[in-house]
Structure 1
């Protein structure tokens, strides 16, 4: 039996190549049982006419399917579904109840779905004025060299690094580069056994909280702060000491005497961008030494300190080992990479490493080796310089537009970063404002999520310039000003 060419239809929204889509159509048909062993495929000419693609594209797809034993070729007779092709398992499935009879309100021990994450439209790129934070700008990313590093990591020489179970270890090349090149830029000296790779800063914060906190301990957090931190701390059932930040970030004198762990974003306070002065950093370290608490320093954006030289990390000033440092490649490479690191005393890292082993073993070896090549070959530094130059230009344009249209900066941002923390006029709800602006093609980030549930604060919003071309910034700020005036 010859399979009709009309059985195959291309999807215009498919993100891969035409050859890949043809392969996927055939494999899906075989795995679903729609295409049976021994059936003859349409000729490459007939299928190319049906799909509106070149004949060579179909031939290459068929050749790849033959190499994977989904199809077999028979001289001039054409291509047939292989008798050795994977077949779907056959089950005698009884009728299953459509209703869920489990009482999940009693079965679930802890609830996590009640947390309201920061919601950003998945199609944000189609908006003309995306003032949203934390997304990668394709025009600034080094696609070609990243691809070359990924291909290098896929090579035979790195087969072990790509395929092996590291158990609780990390890629030695990547750890070496972090300890010898990344951390010294923040004034931090660390041995390999004092560094642990994580699946981004979020994962690092979670592990720090799990290792350091119990329901009998107290954690101090900044207000406002990164929303994910509150969600991480709540399941630990620890007590919270919420400390309002000022123009210099977290004030040490406002900390409770009962605090056990302090979480801070000293270099770029999230979300206000305030930078903690060196004198205040020393005062915080002195309090830690006096009261015996641990400091978790989330240095999530230090590479973006392009406006001034970055202040030394808290970890670099630490003389007692009280600081656990968190770094990430999310802002400097791309957020989807999901790769960060913890730096701390060997005792702390030993516990964090054991915890990571229980949950996820280690970040994927291929990703680790690709990043190691990207860093060691100089591509990372080149990208950071390129991003810093572009961000500086966008920042200058946005700052000028903010002043031109009379918008209100809620906090100064003197060291760079990738956003401004804004205050709306009295009586304006920024959640409603964001919805109205979205209908105009403008995306902003309401500030409500950065405050605790007890603080009904809808007066702030964040404007980021990491994902918007500088040519559109002024027009977008003008639309925000018009919406506020209305």
Structure 2
């Protein structure tokens, strides 16, 4: 069997992983793709090291690791060879070229792709002025302690939590931490059978809506409001009833509805905080008309200007409020871990529904978060974020005032964004496109409105932009607004 030439290997600039990991990846991909056949001699460690410009020990360690994984075998002084029992990718004969014979857009009716959404470029972090909502700032995150919690969750003592199929249950340690650490600070007392873990708050909202709604039912949606909620209601076959919000969030009014959706802590997207007396009145109105309230309590942790108001769920005395929360804003959005809190009967039904899609969120993620909460790292992270957001908000407020831009809603408790209003007749979707060319990202507001709403609103977030870039970014927005 001929030897594999060193020219078959090259390091890709900017590739992730250590040099040792990159060499291992090159070898395993060559074997799995069939380019490196069983019995083929590998380049010598000295020769490959000289070719790649790395130390010989780096290649030697990579080869030793590949031997332990049975990709390579060592033949003493003869060198290293591709193992005869190395994993191989299955080979299939090449099939005929595929043609799109079915018009799936017509078949599905485009029910979900038509949903309005806030457009954000995937490479948002490459822009110097990203006023993008919901992204994490790596300079604020506690990487070291998160890594330690993840490694602890990978240990032998937690092997069962990592590998066990919980069926439709959740990690009991994380449930205990939610009941002990998170919910009490919202004034919510709950039992284990009243909590369900989800893949983020949006998954929690979908489960709640699918459980409670259906054809012939009606649901109140805030206007402007969370765009996905309108789409979720439509997917159930129910009718969405838009209700215009005011400076205090969702108003209290008599509406023939089965479900009322609200974001009382930080109204999405205006950031209005619903006062306690309106929360009590909203509960009374829902009881009078026999409606269920779904509370999305996002960003309650970011109340740094005033003490956080009690959750709507904490005022509930007869199980009328279904509560949704997540760790997307307080830890990081890619975690995709949330929770639903409600009466046992509702949670049992929601758990069965979740089981039709997924049995439970990944066990390792659940146990890592449980340790992150239990060891106090979560509270330290939230405190650090609140202090940073307070400073950024002050800088943003001063820059907005200095440039003469108009704030439509900023909330009185904190949060991570400003809801802005541009002059009448200015289309912020066109404004956003123009600003991208100047390195500035904003979020047009049209997607937040039901129907053909106004086009002159937009959202500016300060969670992911470097503080020193805020003044110049706001100045560029102001100049772009003046030009249009």
Please indicate the TM-score interval, normalised by the length of the shorter structure. over 0.9
2 CA distance for matches of 1:183 and 1:405? 41
2 CA distance for matches of 1:451 and 1:305? 25
Q: Which of 233-242 and 377-386 deviates more? A: 233-242
Please give the per-residue CA displacement for 1:236-287, whole angstroms capped at 9, x wherever unaligned: 110111100000000012x41x200001001100000001111110000001
Map 1:414-429 onto structure 2 (within 5 A): 414-429=412-427
Cα gap change, 1:355/1:238 in structure 2, threshold over 3 Å: closer, same or farther?
same
1 CA distance for matches of 2:117 and 2:72? 46
1:440 and 2:438 are equivalent in the alignment: yes
Q: Which runs of 5+ in 2 are unaligned?
A: none
Aligned residues: 482
Q: Which runs of 5+ in 1 are unaligned?
A: none
Cα gap change, 1:57/1:377 in structure 2, threshold over 3 Å: closer, same or farther?
same
Deviating beyond 6 angstroms after TM superposition, the runs of 4 or more aligned structure 1 residues are none
Cα gap change, 1:456/1:287 in structure 2, threshold over 3 Å: closer, same or farther?
closer
2 CA distance for matches of 1:431 and 1:418? 21
Please give the per-residue CA displacement for 1:305-350, whole angstroms capped at 9, x wherever unaligned: 1111011100000111100000110000000000000000000000
Partner of residue 454, structure 2? 457
Please give the per-residue CA displacement for 1:210-231, whole angstroms capped at 9, x wherever unaligned: 0000111100000011111112
For residue 364 of structure 2, the aligned residue among 351, 366, 369 is 366
1:35 and 2:36 are equivalent in the alignment: yes
Q: CA deviation at 1:13?
A: 3.1
Cα gap change, 1:82/1:412 in structure 2, threshold over 3 Å: closer, same or farther?
closer
Q: CA deviation at 1:107?
A: 4.6
2 CA distance for matches of 1:446 and 1:109? 26
Partner of residue 186, structure 2? 186
Partner of residue 391, structure 1? 389
Partner of residue 78, structure 1? 79
Map 1:311-330 onto structure 2 (within 5 A): 311-330=309-328
Partner of residue 246, structure 2? 246
1:195 and 2:195 are equivalent in the alignment: yes
Report if aligned partners of 1:129, 1:472 keep a CA contact under 8 Å in 2. yes
1:471 and 2:468 are equivalent in the alignment: yes
Report if aligned partners of 2:230, 2:240 keep a CA contact under 8 Å in 1. no
2 CA distance for matches of 1:289 and 1:103? 47
1:213 and 2:217 are equivalent in the alignment: no
2 CA distance for matches of 1:65 and 1:457? 60
2 CA distance for matches of 1:88 and 1:344? 47
For residue 481 of structure 1, the aligned residue among 464, 478, 482 is 478
Partner of residue 374, structure 2? 376
Report if aligned partners of 1:131, 1:444 keep a CA contact under 8 Å in 2. yes
SS at match of 1:111: coil
2 CA distance for matches of 1:270 and 1:97? 47
SS at match of 2:404: coil
Please give the per-residue CA displacement for 1:340-390, whole angstroms capped at 9, x wherever unaligned: 000000000000001111110000000000000001001000000000000
Q: Which of 462-471 and 362-371 deviates more? A: 462-471
Report if aligned partners of 1:289, 1:320 keep a CA contact under 8 Å in 2. no
Report if aligned partners of 2:181, 2:373 keep a CA contact under 8 Å in 1. no
Aligned-pair Cα RMSD in Å = 1.2
1 CA distance for matches of 2:474 and 2:79? 61
TM-score normalised by structure 1 residue count: 0.97
Report if aligned partners of 2:389, 2:463 keep a CA contact under 8 Å in 1. yes
Map 1:1-12 onto structure 2 (within 5 A): 1-12=2-13
Partner of residue 307, structure 1? 305
2 CA distance for matches of 1:27 and 1:119? 38
Map 1:57-72 onto structure 2 (within 5 A): 57-72=58-73
Please give the per-residue CA displacement for 1:35-76, whole angstroms capped at 9, x wherever unaligned: 011110001111112222222221111111111000001111
Q: CA deviation at 1:89?
A: 2.0
SS at match of 1:410: strand
SS at match of 1:57: helix
Q: CA deviation at 1:110?
A: 6.9
Partner of residue 175, structure 1? 175
Partner of residue 350, structure 1? 348
Cα gap change, 1:125/1:109 in structure 2, threshold over 3 Å: closer, same or farther?
closer
